[in-house]
Structure 1
């Protein structure tokens, strides 16, 4: 069963405003906008705006020209996805598992369960009624495959069911879940409906779209998925039980000492929950409800999985220095949305001198609290032979994906400039070795030179106009050593004369 929510974003906004369909602000033209490189663009519109000629994906300036009274509100795609995930879990009342159909639909496996609801038609009616009760407009459809159910939900009659022996030839080619560019190409070829594809030889379509590997750009792949000739993998939505503890206080608290005590109790409670599941927390979220209804939130991310209550409480304590309790805090909640397996370990009972929080992970957590989460990083090798891409910055305790032994480079300097600086080579020997160059206003005579080490462009990442490089290790008369390179060759067809740059310094 495919369930299409055509007004998901608008319905979410209306529910947040406490409005009914066609009531209050929902009766006036409204659009949800998203910021783009070309200016605000409409992400969703309500029925009143659609009747005024406004459509989704229009620029706000063009929409205002058509409908000057158009009201706008910011779009929330992250909130829409979270709501869709929650609806996917709720929709498992009709089947054992469900999956997301981005950006505004669901797929539910209802194999062999229709009789529990009194038949397929009754089950579709129940789905439409339940979604309407929750405030969402929904178009459910039933078919043997996910692709066919999607086609009926989006382009078929309301609450459509595909029975054995029936076909979807009358539906437009857009029902194959193709991108707009592919649909436009098919329409220009005169193929406007799914049935029109059967009149074209499969080999001809395969030749026309042989370079299109993505399913949304290849009508043959989508047609095979629609008919069940090839499997279509779907990723079920699984519920995640987030460890959570909370304390509802008998009296609102305002003083920091009392808040620290409540925080310590919460950390101890959460530690027991994590220990029972053999988990450690990587990300923690603290929410404090004030008497006036305001919610104060603090987030903490650890370098390694931990369930040390004293360490967690000390880190959160630094984030509460600027807290304004107002008239008091009456509810405190601590949750761990990101956890990792952490085996149980028995401490040495004789290790009386052990001090909590002195491990490397604890030290990194304290530095991150003081300097910011992005300030504590470490460089690791990266699988690229281009010098400026040969390393990347990762978290202090994240495992390396590439080892140094996998990158057998020649000797390279320890210090690389942020950007290669242009130099002027005043004299080069006939064999191409530089003999004199000017850098930062000073002329350097080259006493020794070694090279070249030729590095070709990464053709799978860069444009065809990028030139190859010849690197040289050089030493001037004062004993200073540099790493320079020549960009391009004479008459290589990728630009003018070769250019020289200095990229590194040897210690």
Structure 2
């Protein structure tokens, strides 16, 4: 098919990519459409979608993690993928068998690719684009296999490559034969990514070039490779959970998060994540957390690979039940929290969490039960009631001792006579948070004649210049 994709150019549409047949007919990337049609009148042209291509390539990058855990998008020299297969090639029968596997899988998706395996990222980039559809380079073969390639194989800009060609340095081998000092002087002010000497060092391995993945792969992953695509991952979960928990137990670890991913045969990746309130490595409990969640997965035409990963591993020592055979009550509560949160959503279940503030209503907040455990917060200097009113309820004081507690007050239409009291506990406003004019509070612990204990405060002082007569509020009830 004579087809080319175009992008806008300064002097008209420019070919971004073309089919193999179109390139053979003269429609090369970088040419204007007008010039390309002069050599290929039957050329069919369509507008490219760079944003859609980038999204598709990102999904393909995640899908490629079926072969190795470290994958990333190519940053220079056009679209591409970078895979670090160190320690993974033998799992597929060697490097040649791995290339055959990758080529076959991409062919099933309707994609063609130029593939190369080499000791360095730079040499793999060069061989994949300039040495043929498939290339395998051994540890001591980098210079020999890349020497015949053009200088553009060093990932240099077009201007730098043209300058080197004018100097008579047309191939990588020509650059390797030049002494390093003249190159260093000539390109001392060049950008690091456009310095031929730096690119040569990356090509030969003298300068490391680490692979930066969008996210680090998990340390603990269980995999299920299927011979035929299936639609439902439910039967695979128990075995995956047991395998993952065995890995965690071998390292004395547990997990507070799980991610199930299915790799579809059409190149898409779907996943479901769950979380736990505390670290665990119980396979039965972890597998049950996915009940009712797998319906959200879109298996497409089926998937042939499923992985279960521990996303939040934590140290977890082995625990022995008590002499009476009973387990820790906290463990049963954590499992209940896990199942309720998995069923109704992570934000449906809340728990109180202390905060550093001396204002009572700010000293505690409600957070998701599956959130991280709060750090230690110092206890308040005075006892606090178990129940606080939000907002505090205003009371009508019938009689109060000057600068002291009320002797009698009315709250919710009931008159209370004070029998005992303790206080005051003065709490000043937080100047960095409260608006100007906020009045201080004097708190009193009060017991009425019937033995009921209350927590009242007076807002403001007479003559403090921040309002009128001080007001009284009921803020809590002691047990």
TM-score, normalisation: structure 2: 0.50
Looking at CA atoms only, which structure, 1 or 2, has the larger radius of gyration?
2
TM-score, normalisation: structure 1: 0.47
